């Protein structure tokens, strides 16, 4: 135990360092070459001495690299919380339709609201607009969370829950389609672009509210470590260990909705990170202890989404592929693997 613990400590640190490295690569990558020294100068003194470079770094590269780190970390932690909460390996923000719930919240702002036509305008509204987006997105996530929670209390089977998640996604898509039918074309275009999911187009002004919410969610999840560990034994045992199950449930639902809602609100639905990373973390650290898994998921998620972003921007080329293509390529095989492994046990 002491040995494995020391080992995992070093590895979490290692992943954190790797994340910092990938963050730098993300900042360096782009069609315009900016020397490493200038980037370091910029990070230390907020200036490279070249206004164009300053603009590129401040408006394009830094927000994108930061978003990759924040979104990866949040979705993974949300996935871990959900897997423990539902006691189900197939739980995750995108799989159970939580992201779809967020989409509905966002669609409500984009389409049904009718008073603003694009994310650009929303961001021009400044802080208030950003908060509105996040709140709508989180509320959408929360609503779906409650539906899934209700279904999960009735069925234990992973595959059934998965199918329910897919059905909820269809339902929200249908509702959004009705809104789209009655919306103006340019509103639809903005919403459609959003549904593709992207780490781009986030401004530094949006990073602030996003990170505040994410760190609130992450901080609260750290507070849940002991309770989440006890919940691995099921609710009855958790209660007999002195854990307030009700309080834990409410906090977990709020955390998950905030983490998923904030990321999805700004970036659109990002698939597979939430479900795959916790499994990778468990396999890497060979533990179910959230004291190790929570930080591990945080850094591993940040690391993997940063790497995905690097790949999506296609090194040595000026074109980019959508981030969801990369995360799906990496995540879908893992999810299939988990399903197959579960079948073996049965």
Residues found near another protein in the complex (CB under 8 A): 1, 87, 89, 222-227, 229-230, 232-234, 236-237, 239-244, 282-283, 286-291, 345
Which one, 268 or 295, has the nearer CB to another protein? 295
Taking the complex as a whole, the smallest distance from the CB of residue 23 to another protein amounts, in Å, to 27
Which one, 44 or 283, has the nearer CB to another protein? 283
Judged by phi (left if over 0) then psi (alpha if -120 to 50, else beta), residue 244 lies in beta
Which one, 13 or 246, has the nearer CB to another protein? 246
d(CA 140, CA 171): 13
Taking the complex as a whole, the smallest distance from the CB of residue 239 to another protein amounts, in Å, to 7
**Enclosing H/E stretch for 151:** helix 127-154
d(CA 170, CA 147): 14
Taking the complex as a whole, the smallest distance from the CB of residue 82 to another protein amounts, in Å, to 14
d(CA 257, CA 253): 6
Taking the complex as a whole, the smallest distance from the CB of residue 248 to another protein amounts, in Å, to 11
Q: Up-side HSE of residue 35: CA atoms within 13 Å toward CB? A: 6
Which one, 32 or 283, has the nearer CB to another protein? 283
Do 279 and 334 meet the contact criterion of CB atoms below 8 Å apart?
Answer: yes
**Enclosing H/E stretch for 170:** helix 158-181
Which one, 66 or 161, has the nearer CB to another protein? 161
Which one, 173 or 287, has the nearer CB to another protein? 287
Which one, 233 or 311, has the nearer CB to another protein? 233
Taking the complex as a whole, the smallest distance from the CB of residue 199 to another protein amounts, in Å, to 31
Cα angle 313, 315, 321; round to 5: 30
DSSP letter at 60 equals I
Taking the complex as a whole, the smallest distance from the CB of residue 343 to another protein amounts, in Å, to 13
d(CA 26, CA 20): 10
Closest to 282 in 3D by CA, of 218, 214, 341: 341
Taking the complex as a whole, the smallest distance from the CB of residue 150 to another protein amounts, in Å, to 21
Sign of CA dihedral 74, 69, 19, 315: positive
d(CA 265, CA 140): 10
Sign of CA dihedral 279, 281, 285, 288: negative
């Amino acid at each position: 135990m002491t040995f494995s613990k020391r080992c995992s400590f070093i590895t979490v640190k290692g992943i954190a360092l790797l994340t910092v490295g990938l963050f730098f690569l993300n900042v360096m990558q782009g069609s315009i070459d900016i020397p490493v020294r200038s980037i370091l100068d910029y990070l230390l003194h907020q200036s490279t001495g070249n206004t164009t470079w300053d603009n590129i770094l401040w408006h394009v590269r830094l927000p994108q690299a930061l978003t990759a780190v924040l979104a990866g970390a949040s979705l993974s932690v949300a996935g871990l919380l959900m897997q423990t909460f539902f006691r189900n390996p197939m739980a995750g923000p995108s799989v159970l339709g939580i992201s779809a719930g967020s989409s509905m919240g966002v669609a409500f702002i984009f389409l049904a609201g009718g008073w603003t036509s694009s994310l650009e305008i929303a961001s021009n509204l400044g802080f208030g607009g950003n908060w509105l987006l996040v709140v709508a997105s989180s509320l959408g996530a929360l609503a779906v969370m409650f539906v899934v929670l209700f279904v999960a209390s009735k069925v234990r089977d992973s595959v059934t829950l998965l199918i329910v998640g897919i059905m909820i996604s269809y339902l929200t898509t249908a509702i959004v389609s009705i809104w789209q039918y009655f919306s103006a074309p340019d509103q639809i275009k903005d919403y459609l672009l959003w549904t593709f999911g992207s780490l781009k187009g986030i401004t530094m002004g949006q990073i602030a509210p996003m990170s505040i919410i994410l760190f609130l969610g992450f901080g609260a999840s750290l507070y849940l470590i002991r309770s989440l560990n006890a919940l691995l034994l099921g609710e009855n045992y958790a209660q007999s260990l002195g854990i307030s199950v009700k309080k834990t449930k409410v906090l977990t639902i709020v955390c998950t909705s905030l983490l998923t809602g904030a990321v999805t609100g700004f970036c659109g639905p990002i698939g597979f990170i939430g479900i795959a990373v916790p499994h990778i973390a468990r396999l890497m650290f060979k533990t179910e202890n959230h004291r190790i898994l929570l930080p591990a998921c945080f850094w591993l998620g940040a690391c993997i989404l940063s790497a995905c972003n690097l790949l999506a921007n296609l090194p040595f080329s000026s074109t980019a592929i959508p981030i969801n293509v990369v995360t799906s390529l990496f995540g879908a095989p893992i999810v299939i693997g988990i399903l197959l492994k579960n079948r073996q046990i049965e």
